[in-house]
Structures are given as structure tokens and as C-alpha cells.
Structure 1
Amino acid sequence: MALQPINPVEDPRIDHKFHRLRDGITYHYLYGEPQGGRSKATVFLIHGWPDCSAGWRFQIPLLLDMGFRVVAPDLMGFGATDAPDDISLYSLKRASDDIAELAKVVGAEQILLGGHDWGGFVVWRAAQWHPELVTHVFSICTPYSPPHKDYVSTEDLAKGPLPQFAYQLHLASGDVGKSVNDEQSIRQLLKAIYGGKGPNGEYGFDSRKGVLVENLPAIGESKLLNGKILDYYVKEYCRHGIESTLNWYRTRRINYEDDLALLDKKTISIPTLFVQATHDSVLKPEMSKNMDVFLPGLTRAEVVATHWALMQKPAEVNSIIAKWLEGQGFGTKSSL
């Protein structure tokens, strides 16, 4: 029998917790312990955009069932975590440091890290910034990219090797929030990003253009995000509005400058798992071809899915994660 995804509104398997960091920023996170309270290890799950901690709703039950303690934060600017104006607070290093502080809060001396989308970029860097803390990393869709000594702007990426990254220019521009600024427009944006289309096949998002604002009113239901879980996402995104979540797309130079301190730490030697989504239109398979050079402990897997593999193919993703964890000596799950 398949494990049921958590209900982020009310579910006995998880608690909603908050912690105020050293500088006053408050984080919200989902917290769960395995039955009996004794855990093998602690797993942090880091989401991306436009997602939240509930993006891991299909994986949290698996990890609890395998005997792990689970912590799934809302990243800075998302959900019930604070949304400050300072762009530097949305950097990969800052997120890594915040994870390290939250680990201390829950009493975890070491953690496993799982990431998706922006969360994937975070977990790779967290393993580099805090090697004493992170013992294993798994990333869904997001390949590892080593630090570079030369700065490459998003504009240059979009004009050159990664034209599908052009959408990031629109998301970073400040224009999206001018049109996506209330409950209904946020709802339509989420439906569009998660695969909803208009009556004539219209899309609300294009990787080379960004948000197609003119099409949003016509977007119909998404098969991946609908009903009560869509209602939950809309409520979470209405807390701060959409613009705070887009600060993650405004940090490329900040992340580059931070990365300069990691130029001699490009190799991540701990056990790692990368799960490629074969139909990801942004994080395309060819982007991961050189990862093995820097990840000697890498295990590769793939799932036939789009970027939203966590919820589109949860059984397959869970099976891959479970098999890898078992191979790392964490034992078997009690049920599936």
C-alpha cells in the first residue's frame, strides 16, 4: 500500500514549528519524528520555486517510515518564514548557514540533505560550507555546479549555453509582482507553473520568456497541484506576495562572490545521489554530464518526468531515494 502524502494543514505525522534565528529572522519548518521517537538520522528537505516545504509531502512519509527524523523548512521569503527586503539574505551561503543553525535547534550534530530546484542548489553548497554537518546529499532535478572564478551573468547564460534560463531575467525584473498581486492571480500563476493550460492550449509560463501574464486568466486546472493542496499553496504565497520569493533570482552576483571562498573545495566527497527528470525543460539532462568529476561518491538515477518529479512521479522518486538510503546503510522501510 502506498504511503499517503502528508496534509500540511493538519496531519498527526508532522508539526509546524518556528525558530527565530540569531539576527531575528523567523523560520517555519515542518517537523516529523518516526513512530516511537527514535530516529536513525535527521534529514533536511529543501524546496524550490514556486514551492514550499509541502513540496516534499510525498517524500516525508517515506523518510518517517524508514526511521528518519524530518525537517522541511520554508526558505527565506516563502510561506510562513520571514520575507526581509535585504537581497543578501536570499543567498546560497545564507541558506546554508540557516540550515546549520536549524540543525542545532533540533539537536542534530549531523544531517542528510535533500533538495529540489533552488533547494538543490542550496544543498550542494551547504555540503561545501558545512562539511562537518552534512553526511549525505540527494538532489532531485538540480545538478551540481562547481564554484567558478569568473563571473557569468544570467544575461550571458541566457544568450549562450543556457537559453532556457532566460525566464530568470523576467522573474528578477520586478515586473511579475505588478500583475501577480492578489489571491486570484497567485492562484492562476501556480496553476500555470504546475502545468495548467488555457482552453486553446495556452501556456502561462515559458522558460525563454518568463510568466506570460496575458494568458494567466485563461489557465485551467493543473493535474499536479489542485484542490485543497492548491488552496494551501495559494494561502502560503499570499502571506508575503510573490516578489519576496523571486529574490532568489536576484542573487547571482552575491552567490558568485560567496563562491570565491569555495574554489578549492569544488569536490564533494560524501555519498551523493542525483535524480534526473528526463523531461525537465530547464534543468536539462546535458547539464549534469560533468558532475562525476567533482562527486566521487555519486549515484545517478532518472525518472521519466518533468521538473515536478517529486509530485508527478512520487512512487518512482521514493523508490530511488529508499534504495539509495538502504545502500548507504540506513536499513529498510517498514512498509510501502
Structure 2
Amino acid sequence: MQTRLIKTDGITQTILEAGSGPLVLLIHGFPELAISWRAQVGALAAAGYRAVAPDMRGYGGTEKPTETAAYGLMALVGDMVDLVRALGETSCVVVGHDWGAPVAWHCALTRPDLFRAVFALSVPFHPRRVQGPPTAAMAAISKRRGRGDLYISRFQAPDAHEPMDADPEQALRKMFHAYDGATPDGRQSTGFFPEGVDLMGSIADDAILPPWLTEPHFREYVDAFAAAGFKAPLDWYRNLDRNWAETAWLQDRRIEVPAGFIVGERDPVRHYAGPAEAGLKDWVTDLRVQQVIPGAGHWLQQERPDEVNRLLIDFLRSL
């Protein structure tokens, strides 16, 4: 397993890679890095695949454009298209977790010639809404439920990253704790916050690291986010309405390549992504795997690496 820089058409990316054989591209989410996939990179290499996990645009050792508009969904998909070509490959299977899942779904949606299959963790495919931009819809849902604002709405503020930048160690500790499957119900985050309370304020100050996250591994995250900050990762969220405006050409298009989706039973994201999870078969025509992992939370590939590796490798062998 090695880490190296690779120059693509658009940006220079840092990648973690191992193995030889058919390419499997592993896309991380927030607030994660390529190292989130270590267990999968090793298992895939041992199973006869070439596994590559990049630090995504704005994260870790990969370039970080300063403009918020540089983090739109089509730019992120383009980075993955460029990466496959820079690796000397002509096709791959794309795997994504959290924010990496929408990127992976849209890789398969827009370039099925290049991304021959897709496997997503935690976040199901969300088809483009005909009713209008998503942030307004999120605000309406929050108001209707009377549970406060969804964190994604709060992330739209241009200074929302500043409390995280002020204490990256505390911010990361709290987020990993509040979305983990081992965290008791009363201490997990629902994703909704009352007026005057932000994400950090909604999570107890005595949050502890999840059982799977060792202090040395945690320090890798802390060092990376202390160096780069949280602005670029939150800029992914600040492009939601722009993504909607720029993807009208994808309206009503379905994903037709072979696909798989797994989610943790206790993943808090299911509080607001559940309807899309239930209707996934309506939009993914060749859904070969859809499974809920009992007791697991949001950090699925790190919480339950053996189960994820088995399901993923079985899926790859079915292609």
C-alpha cells in the first residue's frame, strides 16, 4: 500500500493505492480522507483488484481551490474521470461513502461507459427534484418537522467552518462520536439543531472516540484538517443549489449500470435520507445489493470493515 501524488488534467491529487487487476476507485466523504478506506484497499488488493482511494478535492494532500464554486458536483465527477485516465485505465468500478456516494452515483449516471458499476455506502441516490433547489426544500422539511435546522442548511453560511477551524481536534472527535453506531441513542446526532445551536454545540463536550478509531489514526485526521481547514469540505455543501441548476440535463435519468447500496442500521443520516433509500429501486435499474448492517452507524467501512469488504468483493465478483 503506497501514497503518491498524481497529476490529472484539473488538479494534483494524493492517492492511496495497492494491488493490480481491475480498477476499483474509492471516494471518501466528510470529514474523511483516503485513509478512511485502508481496510478496503488492503482487502481489494488481496482479492485481485487495483484499489485506489484519493484525497478528494479540498481534502488532505490534494489541491484546494479557493473559490467556493470550484467544489460543484460536476467538477468532482470530472476529477474522478481525470483520475481514471491518469491511472492509465479505461474503466473502473466506483465506490463512495457519505459525500463520496453522490459523487459515485453521478459518475455512474453521467459516464456509464467509464464507470461500469457503482457501490455506495450510507447515502442513497437522490434523483434531481423537479420542485426546485434543494436548500429551500430542506428548510421547508425542517420547519414542518419542528426540529430546527438541518445541519446542511447551517453549512450554507459562509463562516460555518470557523468553529471547526478553531479546534479541529474537538470538532472531529465530536463528529466521529455523534455519528457512530456504538454511541447511545441519546448522544447520537439527529442532524437537526434548534435556533442558536450549531453542530458543535449540539454534541456533548465529553464525546469520546468510537471503538474503531485509535488515537494514532485519529491524529492523522486531526493533522490533516488542522493544516487545511474545513472551508473547502463545507464548500461541497454550499454548491447544492448550483448542482441542481447545472444538472437539468440529468432530469429523470436512471442509473443503469450494476449497483449496490449498504447502510448502517443506526446511521443518523437515515433520519433525512430514508425516503430515497426506500425508493432506490425506482431509480437504479440493476440494483444487485441493498442491505442494512445491524447496529452499524455512519462510518460504515471503518466500523464494520469485514462485512463491508465481504459485500463489496461479492458484488465485484458478480459483475
Specify if TM > 0.5: yes
Letter of the 2:261 partner, please give it: F
CA 287–294 in structure 1, closer or farther in 2 if over 3 Å, else same: closer
Which 4+ residue blocks in structure 1 deviate beyond 4 angstroms? 161-165, 201-206, 214-217
Aligned equivalent of 1:295, options 261, 284, 291 = 284
Give distance in 1, aligned partners of 2:101 and 2:224. 21
Q: Could you list the runs of 5+ residues in structure 2 that have no partner in the other structure? A: none
Residue by residue over 1:150-181, the C-alpha shift from the partner in whole angstroms, topping out at 9 and shown as x without a partner, is 42332422432796871112223234433222
Aligned equivalent of 1:27, options 3, 6, 13 = 13
| 2:161/2:234 contact within 8 Å kept | no
Q: Is 1:191 aligned with 2:173?
A: yes
| 1:203/1:212 contact within 8 Å kept | no
Moved more, 151-160 or 296-305: 151-160
Residue of structure 2 equivalent to 1:314: 305
CA 278–18 in structure 1, closer or farther in 2 if over 3 Å, else same: same
Aligned Cα RMSD in Å?
2.5
Residue by residue over 1:237-294, the C-alpha shift from the partner in whole angstroms, topping out at 9 and shown as x without a partner, is 1221112211111011111022112125x11111100112221112344431111122
CA 294–91 in structure 1, closer or farther in 2 if over 3 Å, else same: same
Q: Could you list the runs of 5+ residues in structure 1 that have no partner in the other structure? A: 1-13, 329-336
Secondary structure of the 1:115 match is strand
Residue of structure 2 equivalent to 1:62: 43
The Cα of 1:206 is off from its aligned counterpart by 5.1
Residue by residue over 1:197-232, the C-alpha shift from the partner in whole angstroms, topping out at 9 and shown as x without a partner, is 9xxx99595510241348665433332323110011
The structure that is helix-richer by fraction is: 2
Letter of the 1:71 partner, please give it: V
| 1:309/1:317 contact within 8 Å kept | yes
Secondary structure of the 1:324 match is helix
CA 75–175 in structure 1, closer or farther in 2 if over 3 Å, else same: same
Q: Is 1:144 aligned with 2:125?
A: yes
TM-score (ref. length: structure 2): 0.87
Instruction: Give the 5 Å matches for 1:188-267.
Output: 188-195=170-177, 207-209=191-193, 210-213=198-201, 217-263=205-251, 266-267=253-254
CA 156–150 in structure 1, closer or farther in 2 if over 3 Å, else same: closer
Give distance in 2, aligned partners of 1:246 and 1:87. 9
Give distance in 1, aligned partners of 2:278 and 2:187. 30
Give distance in 2, aligned partners of 1:287 and 1:99. 24
CA 275–205 in structure 1, closer or farther in 2 if over 3 Å, else same: closer
Q: Is 1:279 aligned with 2:261?
A: no
Residue by residue over 1:49-106, the C-alpha shift from the partner in whole angstroms, topping out at 9 and shown as x without a partner, is 0111111122111111111101111111111111112222211111111111111111
Give distance in 1, aligned partners of 2:66 and 2:188. 27
CA 204–301 in structure 1, closer or farther in 2 if over 3 Å, else same: closer
Residue of structure 2 equivalent to 1:76: 57
Residue of structure 2 equivalent to 1:180: 164
Give distance in 1, aligned partners of 2:274 and 2:161. 31
Give distance in 2, aligned partners of 1:44 and 1:115. 8
Give distance in 2, aligned partners of 1:45 and 1:245. 17
| 1:93/1:255 contact within 8 Å kept | yes
CA 249–53 in structure 1, closer or farther in 2 if over 3 Å, else same: same
Give distance in 2, aligned partners of 1:295 and 1:215. 35
Secondary structure of the 2:25 match is strand
The Cα of 1:146 is off from its aligned counterpart by 1.5
Identity %: 24
Give distance in 1, aligned partners of 2:188 and 2:207. 7
| 1:171/1:249 contact within 8 Å kept | yes
Q: Is 1:49 aligned with 2:30?
A: yes
| 1:139/1:274 contact within 8 Å kept | yes
Give distance in 2, aligned partners of 1:189 and 1:224. 18
How many residues align? The count is: 304
CA 169–224 in structure 1, closer or farther in 2 if over 3 Å, else same: farther
TM-score (ref. length: structure 1): 0.83
CA 219–101 in structure 1, closer or farther in 2 if over 3 Å, else same: same
